[in-house]
Structure 1
Amino acid sequence: MSRKRKGSKGFSFTRLANIMVPNFFADTAPTITSALVGLRKDMCYAHQLSSPNPFALDERSFYVAGVADNEAVSRKMYKALKKHGILRADDGNGEVDTRKIGQSFIHQLASINVMRQRELINMLFWWEEETQRLKKLVAEERRAKEKLDQLKFARERIRMKKRQRPSQRRADVEADKDNLMEAFYGGGSRNAPPLAQTSSGVQDNGKPPEYYAPG
C-alpha cells in the first residue's frame, strides 16, 4: 500500500515489484555504458573519421556512441540538437557548441530519459575536445606537407645543379636568386619581369636555366 497525494491509500504494483525483486525494474544501462565507454568512443571516433566532415556529428553518431538505443532515437537527438543550436547550423558544418547547453536542455530533449541526457552531454563535451584536437592535427599535417614539398623541390633543384657544366651555369641560379625559387616560395622581386610559360610547360623568365647540355 502507498499513500497518494490527496492522503488516501492506494496499491502500487511497481512499488511491490521493487520490494519483492529489487533489481527487476533497475536500469542496467549505466553499468553496460561504463563497461563500453572506451569501446564506444573508439567506434564513434572511427565513424567520424570515415564521414565526409569528421568534425560534425551526424544522425548516426549518437547511436554509434551508444547514447541512443537505435538509429531512430539517434535521428531525433540530432534534429533536436540542430534545432536548438547545440549543433551549429550557421557555419554549415554542424559542429558542437556546448555553450548552448543550458538549464532548458532537459526540456529540449524530453523524449529521452535523464540518464541518457547525461550521457549525451558527456558525449558532446568529449567530441568538442576531440574536434579541437583534430583541427590542430589537420593544420600540422598541412604545414608538414608544405615543408615536405619544399624539401622535394630543393632536392631536385640540387640534383639538377649538380648536372650543370661550368658553361651552363648562371650566377642567379647558383645563388638561388632566380625567379623560379621566388615563385615557389611565394616571394618575388618587384623589378623582376613576370614568369612566362614556355611551350614545354616550364615557367621561364626569358630564358630557363640550362640544366642539361644542348643537343
Structure 2
Amino acid sequence: MLYLVPSPIGNLQDITLRALEVLKQVDVILAEDTRNSARLLNHYQIQKPLTPYHQHNEHKVLQHLVDQLKQGKTMAVLTDAGTPGISDPAFLLVRECIRQEVKVECLPGATAFVPALVNSGLPINRFCFEGFLPLKKGRQTMFRKLATEERTMVFYESPMRLVKTLEEMAQYFGGERLCCVSRELTKMFEENKRGSLAEVAAYFKQKTVKGEIVIVVQGTGE
C-alpha cells in the first residue's frame, strides 16, 4: 500500500488525525526533504525510517520502491508542504503503482492553492491550476495562451521571481486585471495582498518577500 499524506503548509497543527495515524503505521516514509519531514515527525513524536524521494532521484528509485511495495511494505509519501503530487514529487510513483496493481490511497488535507483561491475574493466556481510557470522555454507562449483564459487562474511562485512574474502578467493580461498574492499561509505573518496586477507588482517591488507564494488572477469571463 502506498499512502499520499498531506503535510501542513505552515502551521504544524494543520494535519489530520488520520494522517498522523498513517505515519505511525507505515514501514517507511518517503520524504522530499528528510530534514523538514523529521521536524514534523519529531513534533508529533513519530519515529519511522525516512528515505529521500524528490525530483532529482524519483526516476532512479522508482522501480526499487515499487518492488518493495509489491513485497508487502507500506509506504507514505511526505512532501515539504501540502499534498504530494501537487507541484511536488509523487506522480511518477502513483502512475507506476497503478500500472503494477499496487494499491494507492491519497488522504485529504492541506494544499496551499485552496485557501489562497477561496480568500482571494475572485470567482471560484470555475478555476484552473497552472502551478509553476516555465522559467524560460515556453514562458511567453504560456502567457499569451492564458491571456484569454476565462476562468480564475492559480499559480505557484518563488519569492525571487514574484515581482518579475507579476510584471509579466500585467504586460500580457493587462495591468488592470485583478489578482491576489498570498504568502506565508497559516503562519504568523500570513499576507494576502489584493488589487490590480500593476498595483500588487508595485507593492511587492518595495519590500523583501519571503515564504511560499500563491498568485490568483482574474480570468476574462467576469
Please say whether Structure 1 and Structure 2 have the same fold, judged by a TM-score greater than 0.5. no
Which is higher, the Rg of structure 1 or of structure 2? Answer: 1
- TM bracket (short chain): under 0.3
Answer 1 or 2: which has greater strand percent: 2
Answer 1 or 2: which has greater helix percent: 1
Higher relative CO (Cα under 8 Å, sequence separation at least 6) belongs to 2
Q: TM-score, normalised by structure 1?
A: 0.23
Q: TM-score, normalised by structure 2?
A: 0.23
